[in-house]
Amino acid sequence: MSRMIVPHTTPTPDSDGAPRATRTVRKAVVPAAGLGTRFLPATKATPKEMLPVVDKPAIQYVVEEAAAAGLDDVLMITGRHKRAIEDHFDNAFELEQALTAKGDTVRLDAVRDPARLGDIHHIRQGDPLGLGHAVLCARHHVGDQPFAVLLGDDLIDPRETLLSRMLEVRDQYGGSVVALMEVPPEQIHLYGCAAVEPSGEDGVVRVTGLVEKPSRENAPSRYAVIGRYVLDPAVFGVLERTPPGRGGEIQLTDALQELATGGTVHGVVFDGLRYDTGDRADYLRTVVRLACARDDLGPEFVAWLKEFVAGLEEDGGQERNRLAA
Q: Which residues bind ligand G1P (CB under 6 A)?
A: 131, 151, 153-154, 191-192, 212, 224-227, 251-253
Q: Give me the least distance between CB of 66 and ligand G1P, in Å please.
A: 16
What is the nearest approach in angstroms of ligand G1P to the Cβ of residue 9? 32
CB 134 within 8 A of CB 77: yes
Q: Are 166 and 179 in contact (CB under 8 A)?
A: yes
Least Å distance between CB 296 and ligand G1P? 30
In terms of CB distance, is 73 or 154 closer to ligand G1P? 154
d(CA 63, CA 8): 14
What's the CA gap between 157 and 290, in Å, rounded?
8
Q: Which is nearer to ligand G1P, 166 or 291 (CB)?
A: 166
Rounded to a whole number of angstroms, the minimum distance from the CB of residue 227 to ligand G1P is 4
Q: Which of 236, 275 has the CB closer to ligand G1P?
A: 275
Q: Based on CB atoms, which residue is closest to ligand G1P, 252 or 260?
A: 252
| Closer residue to ligand G1P in complex, CB, 57/132 | 132
Q: Which is nearer to ligand G1P, 223 or 236 (CB)?
A: 223
CA-nearest of 275, 233, 218, 211 to 61 is 275
Helix (H, G, I), strand (E, B) or coil at 241: coil
253 or 264, CB closer to ligand G1P? 253
Neighbours of 190 (CB within 10 A): 12
CB of 74 to ligand G1P, least distance (A): 19
Residue nearest to ligand G1P according to CB distances in the complex: 192
Which of 151, 149, 200, 177 minimizes the C-alpha distance to 267?
A: 177
Task: Round to whole Å and give the CA distance between 186 and 178.
Answer: 21
- Strands, E, within the chain: which ranges? 27-31, 52-53, 56-57, 73-78, 119-124, 147-150, 154-156, 176-182, 192-198, 204-212, 223-231, 265-269, 274-276
CB of 31 vs ligand G1P, minimal distance in Å: 8
Q: Shortest approach of ligand G1P to residue 199 CB, angstroms?
A: 21
b/e string for 251-280 if b means 16 or more Cβ within 10 A?
bbbbbbbbbbeeebbbbbbbeebbbbbbee
Instruction: Provide the minimum distance between the beta carbon of 210 and ligand G1P in the complex, in angstroms, as a whole number.
Output: 8
| CA angle (267 as vertex; 264, 271 as ends), nearest 5 | 175
Separation between Cα atoms, residue 114 and residue 64, nearest integer Å: 8
Residue 193: DSSP 8-state: E
- Which CB sits closer to ligand G1P, 99 or 151? 151
The rounded distance, in Å, linking the Cα atoms of 138 and 147 is 10
